[in-house]
Structure formats: C-alpha cells, structure tokens
Amino acid sequence: MPVFLIGFMGSGKSAVGKLLSQRSGEQFVDMDEEIEKRENRSILEIFNESGEKYFREIESQLLAEFSHLKNTLIACGGGIIEREENRNILVKNLTFYLYAPFEEIWDRIKGDSTRPLAMRRKKFVKKLYDKREPLYRATGIPIDTTGMKIEDIVNLLMKKFRYDNQR
C-alpha cells in the first residue's frame, strides 16, 4: 500500500517525502506537482481562475487514484484532510502526520506567493491551522517535528517505523 504524508503547509511533507524515497527506494509523488502537471498551470492560477472548490475536486480524484499505487510515498497538499471522503482513504492507509507548532510553520510560509492560503493574514492562517490540527491528528500517526531538520525527520521515520524492512 502507499504511504501518505500529511500536515499543514510548510510542515516539510515534500522535502521529507523526497529524501525518504531516496533512502527507502520507493517512488515519490507530490500531489500538488501532479495537479499542476495535469492542469498545466500553477496552484495559484487554479485557485484564481477556477476557485478552491475546483482544486479540491481534482485533489480528491487524484487521492482516490493514488490510493491504488504500490510502493509509493505520497506528499499531500495541506488541505487534503478538509474532506471526509479523503480522510476515509487516508486512515485506511499508512499515513504520517508531520506536526509542527504554528509559529514555526508561520515563519516558513508567511508571504509565500506560491501558496494562495499562506498569503492571507496571520489570524486567518492560525484559524485554519487550529481547525485542521485535530483532523490531521485523527487521520495520521503524529510525528512531532518541532525544531527538527528534514534529515532528522527522515531518520526518525526510518528508525521508528523500520521503514525499509517493514514493508
């Protein structure tokens, strides 16, 4: 079965996924990149031209499709847990939640012009974080990454879950 990485924007899902796939020899897929390829436009353009609801539809379709992939690590967009149908897929698979506290996340993503939701005010983003945090936690195995570098997170995942020989 595939392994999913979930967590808020800026939690390191893509970077961790890339490095972990190199170490474990599994394929890596970044859902946002895949959506951009299929739509032939950026996430920002999709949000601006077609709206968030449209983006969420493609995201759900892609998740359902990817849930059949074998030996693949999949980094999801931060909003994947918004929909119940998505959460139902994720809980049935091996899903890791990369947790980091809000302030750490905010320092990484504030003003990021490629992320439509990170360009909003801090208060808005904090509210989104607070709403989503329990959903991530209920959907994936929480990994506390507070203050950790990508390399350390990958080592932790490899060690804690004997990632390579277990699967």
Listed residue (27, 25, 28, 47) closest to 36, CA to CA: 47
CB of 147 to ligand S3P, least distance (A): 20
For ligand S3P, the closer of residues 9 and 73 by Cβ is: 9
Residue 78 as a binder of ligand S3P (CB under 6 A): the answer is: yes
Task: Work out whether 77 is an interface residue with ligand S3P (CB under 6 A).
Answer: yes
Query: Among 61-69, 71-79, 88-96, 154-162, which window interacts with ligand S3P (CB under 6 A)?
Result: 71-79
If one asks whether residue 79 binds ligand S3P (CB under 6 A), the answer comes out as yes
| Closest residue to ligand S3P, based on beta-carbon distance | 77
Q: Min. distance of Cβ 50 from ligand S3P in angstroms?
A: 13
How big is the CA angle at 14 (ends 7 and 133), to the nearest 5 degrees? 5
Beta-carbon contacts of 54 under 8 Å, excluding residues fewer than 6 positions away, are 46
Nearest one of 41, 17, 20, 37 to 29, comparing CA atoms:
17
Closest to 76 measured CA to CA, from 42, 41, 28, 108: 28
Taking the least distance from each CB to ligand S3P, the nearer of 26 and 32 is: 32
- DSSP label of 77: P
Those residues with Cβ within 8 angstroms of residue 36's Cβ, 6 or more apart along the chain or in another chain: 42, 43, 46
Among 115, 139, 145, 153, binds ligand S3P (CB under 6 A): 115
Residues that bind ligand S3P (CB under 6 A): 9, 13, 32, 43, 77-79, 115-117
